[in-house]
């Protein structure tokens, strides 16, 4: 009976952990989008023309959402009065599943429903720490593993927030709301059974179970642990990009590393390993191992880097056992349990670290702040390129309880049968995920002699007013029949874009091949989708004071002759402190254009007889000297230059200003038709596509 009860408690904890992890990711991305949209709406004097655009939201609605989130984050304090109540855990479970169901029933209120899930989930975690401390690790281990599996089955995305999403399993089809209704009933039955069992045990034994406590150092470690998991190690596509390996090859190894600490024998062997070192140094050794694995995983690439990050996940997961301590029944029971209050400290640590992570990407868009806050402006801008250092700080914080605990090692083994059964379960889950993340086969072009080449800035997966746009991007690419697509401003697993690898998602949805080149850290940059086999990929970052610019170079296997693609993102126009444009020679754009020219010359001089496509977001219009440089001083041609001016705009902003910032330049290729899809609102940019003849003798119909 005890084994069954403990198993069901772990299942309950894991499912609630899964819901909370999903809700945190969803809430973070949704609030980012809503705040960004409301900020744009506020900048426009008359927003009547914006109301019909996807993503429009009234600032007052965002304010209500933020208030709801603020209240929800205080929910752990309820544990101060509910912890001793036997029905407190079922209450928290019920609130979690009700909030999860509400999000599917009312999509407009999904952020507030997600806030309810997060708040009730934090209350549940606090109660589990106090009343069932031995089941605390299962919340995150099972929760993270389920999240990995769901995303692996859905091209790195979490579709469970879409009420219209349909699941197919063993020939059965089921909508999201039906699935979650079944899960809800199952969780409520489990928590009811475990609670009644708990009542019976207390009646028979007449003793209180051991109480757990979240310590002060443990609260710092918990916030850091959640940060590391939600932004990197608990996201297979993020790990894959750090290690420069394929997503499909990463998923099963990461699931194995996440679930392996559940095996009692593994914990026992790890305890023996760490126990061989002096108590004063074992914590620092553990922190050093975690930091070393993160550094090696970031600095190297391929299988070695993947192995390092998988080991980092294994080490990180094992630290969760040190976060919670059992209270001394003699000396500590007279003191109030600080778990509920310290959970707020964990949230604060998580918030600070995620803010730092956000500005390692968006350092260039920090607004000027008035005194006395100007110091924060410089601090946020200084976060450029320090992503690894931020994770090392989080790793040290996560290991602090191990550093300070010099006597007790909380990893415990179990009976041999438990080790065998748990090991088989872990191995089965890992092996079952092997084929789950496999990419579908690439579809060949309809006519290899006539290739449609497109460019699109996807705005980090959002429309102009920050409505998630990946479905729209896929539809635009499909309806224009693009064979090769140059994508800019692509996210590969950031929390602000729901953790989705956008290039991978689009490639799998469109049955294309995808390659990504990072510009900021490892998770934001350029991508190329292709129906033609890609032979080689490289890239370079450009110099500049503003946002990180760069180019991606891809060579296609079209035929026996080289076919080159250059995908470019050049920085914005640079201004002085008064907001006036700097002289042309001082512009980042000028310096980066020269770097791009030098790269092309280095690769193709002196003959320039190879087929070259140069495209992307250049961030300058046709009436500039930089445009005239490409048009007049090189052998590139602009196939769009004869279009009517009103048909050439590729950028449209909230104030109705329009410009052409996106180009496709051709060398030794003959265009047979061009078009800019102005009728399909995909992002703040529009899809531009040109049909090219693979050889001069080829004839292509428009």
- In the chain, % of residues over pLDDT 70: 94
pLDDT digits (tens, 9 = 90+) for 465-510: 999 999 999 999 999 999 999 999 999 999 999 999 999 999 999 9
User: What pLDDT does 172 receive?
Assistant: 75
Q: Is the pLDDT of residue 18 over 60?
A: yes
- Give me the pLDDT at residue 296, please: 96
**Segment 537-541 mean pLDDT:** 95
pLDDT value of residue 203: 60
Closest CA to 621 of 581, 583, 651: 651
| pLDDT value for 137 | 94
Q: Per-residue pLDDT for 413 more than 90? A: no
Contact between 227 and 349 (Cβ < 8 Å): yes
Strands 450-457 and 484-491: what pairing?
A: parallel
Tens of pLDDT along 599-628? 999 999 888 889 999 999 999 999 899 999
Task: Tell me, rounded to whole angstroms, the distance of Cα 330 from its chain centroid.
Answer: 46
* Per-residue model confidence (pLDDT) at position 647: 87
pLDDT confidence of residue 295: 96
% the chain with pLDDT above 90: 61
Distance (Å, rounded) from C-alpha 313 to C-alpha 495? 18
Q: How confident is the model at residue 277 (pLDDT cuts 50, 70, 90)?
A: confident
Whole-structure pTM value: 0.94
pLDDT at 552: 97
pLDDT of residue 10: 87
Q: Looking at the predicted structure, is the pLDDT value of residue 363 above 90? A: no
The two beta strands, 658-659 and 651-652, are antiparallel
Task: Write down the pLDDT at residue 72.
Answer: 94
Overall average pLDDT of the 551-570 stretch? 94
pLDDT attached to residue 170: 64
CATH code 3.60.10.10 for 450-693: yes
Q: What is the pLDDT of residue 347?
A: 96
Decide: 468 and 462 in contact? Cβ < 8 Å: yes
Quick one: pLDDT at residue 596? 95
pLDDT bracket for residue 435 (50, 70, 90): confident
Question: Running DSSP on this structure, what letter comes out for residue 44?
Answer: -
Whether the pLDDT of residue 378 is over 80: the answer is no
pLDDT of residue 208: 62
CA 338/CA 354 separation, integer angstroms: 25
The model's confidence at residue 174, banded by pLDDT at 50, 70 and 90, is confident
Give the pLDDT of residue 333.
Answer: 59
Identify the pLDDT of residue 332: 61
Q: How confident is the model at residue 252 (pLDDT cuts 50, 70, 90)?
A: very high
Average pLDDT score over the chain: 89
The tens digit of pLDDT for each residue in 200-241 reads 666 666 556 778 899 999 999 999 999 999 999 999 999 999
Locate the domains of the chain by residue range: 1-209, 211-438, 450-693
Q: Is 173 left (phi over 0), alpha (psi -120 to 50) or beta?
A: beta
Q: Is the pLDDT of residue 370 over 60?
A: yes
- pLDDT at residue 580 in the model: 74
- Could you report how far apart the first and last alpha carbons of the chain are, in Å? 72
pLDDT range class, residue 369, cuts 50, 70, 90: low
| Contacts of 551 by beta carbon, 8 Å cutoff, 6+ apart | 526, 539, 540, 542, 566, 567, 568, 569, 596, 599, 616
The DSSP output letter for 386 is: -
CB 539 within 8 A of CB 599: no
CA-to-CA dists, residue 224 to 205, 261, 308, 348, 480, angstroms: 38, 19, 19, 10, 45
Tell me, what's the pLDDT at 23?
96
pLDDT value at position 2? 60
Mean pLDDT of 83-93: 88
**At residue 308, does pLDDT exceed 90?**
yes
Helix, strand, coil percentages (3-state) for the chain, rounded to 5, are: 55, 15, 30
- Report the C-alpha gap between 58 and 226 in whole angstroms: 31
576 compared with 114, residue with greater pLDDT? 114
- pLDDT tens string 116-172: 999 999 999 999 999 889 999 999 999 999 999 999 999 999 999 988 888 876 667
Question: What pLDDT score does 202 carry?
Answer: 61
Read off the pLDDT of each residue in 423-429 and give the average, rounded to a whole number.
89
């Amino acid at each position: 009976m005890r084994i069954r009860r403990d198993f069901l408690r772990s299942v309950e904890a894991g499912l609630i952990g899964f819901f909370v992890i999903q809700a945190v990711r969803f809430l973070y991305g949704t609030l980012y989008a809503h705040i960004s949209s409301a900020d744009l709406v506020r900048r426009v004097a008359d927003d009547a023309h914006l109301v019909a655009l996807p993503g429009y939201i009234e600032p007052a609605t965002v304010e209500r959402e933020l208030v709801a989130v603020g209240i929800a984050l205080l929910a752990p304090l309820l544990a101060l009065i509910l912890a001793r109540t036997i029905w407190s855990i079922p209450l928290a479970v019920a609130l979690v599943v009700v909030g999860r169901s509400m999000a599917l029933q009312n999509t407009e209120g999904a952020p507030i429903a997600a806030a309810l899930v997060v708040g009730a989930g934090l209350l549940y975690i606090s109660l589990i720490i106090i009343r069932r401390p031995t089941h605390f690790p299962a919340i995150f281990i099972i929760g993270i593993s389920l999240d990995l599996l769901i995303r692996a089955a859905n091209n790195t995305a979490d579709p469970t927030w879409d009420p219209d999403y349909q699941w197919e399993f063993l020939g059965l089809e089921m909508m999201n709301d039906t699935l979650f209704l079944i899960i809800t009933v199952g969780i409520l039955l489990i928590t009811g059974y475990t609670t009644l069992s708990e009542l019976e045990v207390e009646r028979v034994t007449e003793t209180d179970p051991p109480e757990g406590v979240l310590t002060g150092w443990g609260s710092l470690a918990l916030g850091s642990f959640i940060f590391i998991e939600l932004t990197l190690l608990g996201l297979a596509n993020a790990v894959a990009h750090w290690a420069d390996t394929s997503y499909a090859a990463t998923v099963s190894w990461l699931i194995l590393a996440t679930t392996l600490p559940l095996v009692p024998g593994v914990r026992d062997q790890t305890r023996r390993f760490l126990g061989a070192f002096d108590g004063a140094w074992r914590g620092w050794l553990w922190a050093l191992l975690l930091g070393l694995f993160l550094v090696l995983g970031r600095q190297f690439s391929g299988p070695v880097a993947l192995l390092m990050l998988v080991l980092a996940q294994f080490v990180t997961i094992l630290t969760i056992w040190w976060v919670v301590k059992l209270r001394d029944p003699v000396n500590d029971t007279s003191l109030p349990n600080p778990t509920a209050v310290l959970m707020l400290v964990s949230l604060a640590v998580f918030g600070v670290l995620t803010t730092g992570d956000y500005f390692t990407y968006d350092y260039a868009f920090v607004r000027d702040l008035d005194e006395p806050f100007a110091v924060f402006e410089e601090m946020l801008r200084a976060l450029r390129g320090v992503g690894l250092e931020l994770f090392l700080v989080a790793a040290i914080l996560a290991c602090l309880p191990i550093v300070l605990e010099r006597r007790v090692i909380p990893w415990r083994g179990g009976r041999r049968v438990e080790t065998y059964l748990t090991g088989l379960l872990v191995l089965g889950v890992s092996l079952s995920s092997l084929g789950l993340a496999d990419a579908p086969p690439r579809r060949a072009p309809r006519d290899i002699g006539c290739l449609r080449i497109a460019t699109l800035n996807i705005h980090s997966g959002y429309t102009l007013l920050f409505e998630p746009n990946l479905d729209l991007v896929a539809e635009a690419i499909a309806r224009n029949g693009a064979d090769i697509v140059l994508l800019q401003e692509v996210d590969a697993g950031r929390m602000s874009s729901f953790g989705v690898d956008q290039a991978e998602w689009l490639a799998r949805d469109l049955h294309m091949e995808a390659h990504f080149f990072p510009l900021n850290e490892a998770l934001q940059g350029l991508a190329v989708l292709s129906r033609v086999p890609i032979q080689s990929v490289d890239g370079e970052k450009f110099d500049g004071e503003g946002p990180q610019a760069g180019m991606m170079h891809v060579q296609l296997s079209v035929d026996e002759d080289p076919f080159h693609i250059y995908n470019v993102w050049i920085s914005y126009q640079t201004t002085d402190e008064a907001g006036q444009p700097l002289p042309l020679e001082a512009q980042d754009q000028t310096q980066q254009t020269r770097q791009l020219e030098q790269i092309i010359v280095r690769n193709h001089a002196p003959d320039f007889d190879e087929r070259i496509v140069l495209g992307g977001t250049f961030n300058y219009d046709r009436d500039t000297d930089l445009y005239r440089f490409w048009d007049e001083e090189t052998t590139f041609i602009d196939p769009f230059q004869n279009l009517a001016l009103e048909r050439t705009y590729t950028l449209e902003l909230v104030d109705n200003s329009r410009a052409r910032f996106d180009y496709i330049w051709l060398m030794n290729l003959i265009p047979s038709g061009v078009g800019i899809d102005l009728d399909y609102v995909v992002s703040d940019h529009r899809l531009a596509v040109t049909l090219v003849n693979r050889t001069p003798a080829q004839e292509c119909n428009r």
